[in-house]
Chains A and B, each alone.
Chain A
Amino acid sequence: MNKSLDPRINRLNIDKYPADLTRKVPLDQFGTYEVFTQSKTEQPYQHEGIVHAPSKEMAFIFAKEQFSRRMTCSGLFVVETKNIFVTATTENNINVYHTVSEKFDTTGHLEQYEFFHLLKRGKQHLHVGSIEARNAQEALALAKPAFSEEDPVLNAWIIKTKDILFSSEEDTIIWNTLPDKKFRNASAYKASDKIKAFKESQKSTL
Chain B
Amino acid sequence: MNTDAIKELLYKIADDQLIIGHRNSEWTGMGPILEEDIAFSSMAQDKIGQSYALYQLLHDLGEDEPDQVAFMRKANQFKNSQLTELPNGEYDYSLLRHFLFDTAESIRFEFLAQSAYSPLALLAKKIQGELRYHTMHANTWIKQLGNANQESILRLQASLDQLFPFALGIFEPSPFENVLIEEKIFVGEKVIMQKWQEQIAKILNATELLIPSFSEPAIYGGRFGHHTEHLTLLLEEMSEVFRIDPTAEW
Contacts and interface: CB of A to CB of B under 8 A. Distances in A.
A174 B42 contact: no
Given A176-B126, A177-B127, A171 B136 contact: yes
A57 B144 CA distance: 9
A61 interface: yes
Chain B, interface size category, equals 20 to 34
A6 to B, nearest CB: 9
A66 B33 contact: no
Interface string B135-164: 011001101100000110000000000000
Interface in A129-157: none
B44 to A, nearest CB: 11
A173 B136 contact: no
Contact of B129 (A53, A55, A57, A176): A176
A1 B132 CA distance: 43
Given A61-B136, A65-B42, A69-B42, A177 B144 contact: no
B4 interface: no
A98 to B, nearest CB: 39
A51 B127 CA distance: 26
Given A52-B33, A66-B38, A173-B128, A58 B140 contact: yes
Contacts of A177: 46, 126-127, 129-130
B35 A52 contact: yes
Contacts of B237: none
Interface string B31-55: 0011110110011001001000000
Given A5-B151, A7-B151, A177-B130, 14 more contacts: A52-B33, A57-B140, A57-B143, A58-B140, A62-B36, A62-B39, A64-B133, A65-B39, A65-B43, A173-B132, A174-B130, A175-B129, A177-B46, A181-B49
Interface of A: 5, 7, 30, 51-55, 57-58, 60-62, 64-66, 69, 171, 173-177, 181
Interface of B: 33-36, 38-39, 42-43, 46, 49, 126-130, 132-133, 136-137, 140-141, 143-144, 150-151
